[in-house]
Amino acid sequence: MSGKNVRTIRVGSRRSQLALVQTHLAIDMLRAKNNLLEFEVVKIATVGDKILDVALSKIGDKSLFTKELERALEDNEVDFVVHSLKDVPTSMPEGLVLGCVFDRTSPEDVVLMSPKNRGRKLRDLPEGSVVGTSALRRSATLKRLYPHLNFISIRGNLNTRLNKLDLESETKTKEDDSAVHTVRYDAIVLAKAGIERLGWADRIDEVLDNCFHAVSQGALACECRKNDTFILSVLADLHNESACLSAIAERSLMQHLDGGCSTPIGVRHQLIPSVGHPHHLVLEANVLSVDGAQYVEASVSAEFPHLIPRGSKRPLSVCENDVEEIHSLLPKQPRISGSDPRAGHPPTSEITHLNLSCSEEELQSADDPSAVFMGVHVSPICSVARLRMARSKRVGRILAEKLLASGASRILEEIRSQTLTASKTNVATSSVTK
């Protein structure tokens, strides 16, 4: 590289082993594409990394693992940060965007058993066995499937949780704000993607592939300043359209349901490719009560425009008139169909299907190079790719509306009421103890 200008890019990361592995994954992919870039990793502690004795659903902040990273971006201390996309709230600070979504693998949850239970499945555990999970969604889902088990919160990074699982003696845990309990875990439930990225696949005893997973689980994303055109152009080389489209649809669903850590919302998707790029998306979702007793599920499928795939040799800059060309060939009205035979999972209710007809909002977004889709802003990118992002966003909104109309609104209102009551009780208890 003698005689060439080498630029050093500062990359923000959480301090955990998994976060650093994911950050270096992004860096390695970028280095492979541009040998004129050097990278400096800036380790940053987040609120979620510091508060380890309270369940995520009880902390109440949707930015638990992102706020400090975003502050570093705003203060120009780093050039971009790497996130597990499931940790990123659907509403982001003004001026910050997700410059790419990449490497979405294995969105399923998995079960890791304690040493004495290796090789077992959840259904095989004795009644009253203790299963640790940090997610209210997992707890609600598994309570419904395995009512004989005792699901409690477990916090800490993956290394910490695995150590707690492998302890032969009891460990202390805080289930509420008033008492500390001791517990011995028989199993824990974690995201498969994180376990695989850390090289711990041999510890997996069961893959919960029939369960719905968290919104954006398994996907990685890089956040940067929207006005930093150089960093945006660098991150565009990492972008994976298939990973992005499923994530945008799921994040749109979450936003329209006003969901977060305290809301048991699960998703499952199937993206069926055609000629090398996304063509057909099936998105399923459910909303559960905290105890898993109440349950609503719905599905939406959609066709995507399939002109100018992301890997086309045609320059991106000449794609900008293609939306109008597509629109002139498409029917104006969307149609609703019944169960879609291409869906990988049998529908529990009639699937709402969107064909290639485009709404005016989708077309306007496709024509706007500054458009942001659930936080995602990839630049440079062609207008047809933006049209597909707009379609994904619409899929999530329609599915949310369908769930709300099917009874999810009542479940969500009960959860919000319970959360508010618990918050007031905790405040009152805290005042008395002082």
Active site residues: 87
Q: How many CB atoms lie within 10 A of CB 194?
A: 22
Q: Is-cis flag, bond preceding 380, omega within 30? A: yes
Question: Residue 323 phi/psi, 5° resolution?
Answer: -65, -45
DSSP per residue over 76-94, as a string? TS-SEEEEEGGGS-SS--T
CA trace torsion 174, 180, 184, 188 (10° rounding): 0
Question: Residue 271 phi/psi, 5° resolution?
Answer: -110, 110
Contact 156, 279 (CB under 8 A): no
- Using CA of residue 221, residue 227, residue 228, residue 234, what is the dihedral sign? positive
- DSSP, collapsed to helix, strand or coil, labels residue 184 as coil
- DSSP, collapsed to helix, strand or coil, labels residue 255 as helix
Q: How far is CA 275 from CA 256, 262, 301, 311, in A?
A: 32, 40, 19, 11
Contact 135, 213 (CB under 8 A): no
What are residue 272's DSSP bridge partners?
280
Q: Show the tokens assigned to 334.
A: 């969307």
Contact 398, 298 (CB under 8 A): no
- DSSP, collapsed to helix, strand or coil, labels residue 152 as strand
Q: Where are the alpha helices (DSSP H) in 198-321?
A: 229-236, 241-257
Contact 314, 335 (CB under 8 A): no
Please tell me what DSSP assigns to residue 134.
Answer: S
Q: Show the tokens assigned to 161.
A: 């949780």
Q: Show the tokens assigned to 277.
A: 């790029």
Q: How many CB atoms lie within 10 A of CB 98?
A: 27
